[in-house]
Amino acid sequence: MKKGQFILSVLVANHAGVLTRISGLFSRRNFNIDSLNVAVTEDPLFSRMTIIARGDEAVQEQITKQLDKLHDVKKIELLTPEKTVLREHLLLKIKVTKKTRGEIVESVNIFRGRVVDFNLDSLTVEVTGESDKLDAFIKFVSQFGILEMCRAGALAVKRGAMADDSDK
């Protein structure tokens, strides 16, 4: 987590336009959003959004309260980084030559990534982890030449067995 960043886990109604409502609220209220991830939950009536936003405590409070006013927002949780499992997903297409291939594959292994596409002159790898880990990986392999990068926003769940007591 970078300075001033915080994680919101937002349970929302799963229908058209909800993403626009949420992202629109952020831009309208002049809030910063660093990443947003959304997909349907085990209950098809609801989606869960994981939002990484930035701002001081006052901003954090305003974002939470303003989100809470939206009719489609069912539950908001502010997750503390220490008690949260946070994962980002990276797909990276890297330029390879016969000479560099070995070193790249080795670095993928060190970062516990996987090669998902293999060509003569390129490799596509996936790496999962916290933001810093992915940053470090990208920094390392950038020397070989990055052809394409695709990085998903963070997913987050609270640690421990306590289930999400959402008020569905």
Partner 1 sequence: MKATGTKVIIETLIEQGCDTVFGYPGGAVLNIYDELYRNSDKIHHVISAHEQGAAHAADAYARVTGKAGVVIATSGPGATNLVTGIANAYLDSSPIVAITGNVALPLLGKDSFQEVDITGITMPITKHNYIVKDVNELADVIREAFKIAQSGRPGPVLIDVPKDVQTAVCDFENKKPEKMERICSVTEKQLEQVAKLISESERPYIYCGGGVVISQAGEEIEKLAAKIDSPIGFSMMGLSAVSADNPYWLGMTGMHGRYASTKANSEADLIIAAGVRFSDRATGNKSRYTQYAKVVHIDIDPAEIDKNISAYFGLIGDVKTVLTKLLAKLEKKTHTQWMDKIQQMRIQEGIQFVKDGVMHPKDIIEKVMEYTDENTIVATDVGQHQMWVAQYYRFKKPRTYLTSGGLGTMGFGMGAAIGGCFASGCKKTVLFTGDGSFGMNLNEMATAVSNNLPLVILIFNNGVLGMVRQWQNTFYDQRYSQTTLNRKTDFVKLAEAFGATGFRVMDIKMLKEALDTAFKTQGPVVIDCSISQDEKVLPMIPPGGSIDNIITR
Please report where in the chains the tokens 């489609």 appear, as a residue: 72
Stretch near partner 1 under the rule CB under 8 A, chosen from 3-11, 20-28, 104-112, 143-151: 20-28
Q: Which of 4, 5, 14, 21 binds partner 1 (CB under 8 A)?
A: 21
Q: Which of 70, 91, 105, 157 binds partner 1 (CB under 8 A)?
A: 70
Helix (H, G, I), strand (E, B), or coil: what is residue 61? Answer: helix
Q: 120: closest CA among 94, 100, 97, 99? A: 97
* C-beta closer to partner 1: residue 2 or 29: 29
- C-alpha 127/C-alpha 92 separation (Å) is 8
- C-alpha 81/C-alpha 131 separation (Å) is 12
Q: Which of 40, 45, 61, 97 binds partner 1 (CB under 8 A)?
A: 61
Number of residues engaging partner 1 in binding (CB under 8 A): 16
* C-beta closer to partner 1: residue 29 or 159: 29
